[in-house]
Amino acid sequence: MDIAERITIEPGKRGGRACVRGMRIAVADVLGWLAQGMTVAEIVADYPELEPEDVSACLTFAAERERGTVTVHAA
């Protein structure tokens, strides 16, 4: 998966935090919902602008950030 297509960072949006496809939904928000026990289906039902692939991209982004291998260019 090319997370650069799904995860964006814009200096003026959400304080420059990583977001999903330029929306105001931060990667940290999605990770928090998953940590609270929400399923991908529940997240997509609550936020229909998200796609299951967006949730996967958030997990991939977090894993790559932990490995120190993530590169996302600011918009």
8: helix, coil or strand?
A: strand
For the chain, domains (ranges, CATH) are 3-67 (1.10.10.10)
69: helix, coil or strand?
A: coil
pLDDT at 74: 60
One pLDDT digit (tens) per residue for the chain, 75 residues: 688 899 999 998 899 999 999 999 999 999 999 999 999 999 999 999 999 999 999 999 999 988 887 666 665
Return the CA Rg of the chain.
12
Calculate the CA 62 to chain-centre distance.
8
Taking the model in full, what pTM does it have? 0.85
What distances in angstroms separate CA 18 from CA 27, 30, 32, 72, one per listed residue?
6, 11, 14, 9
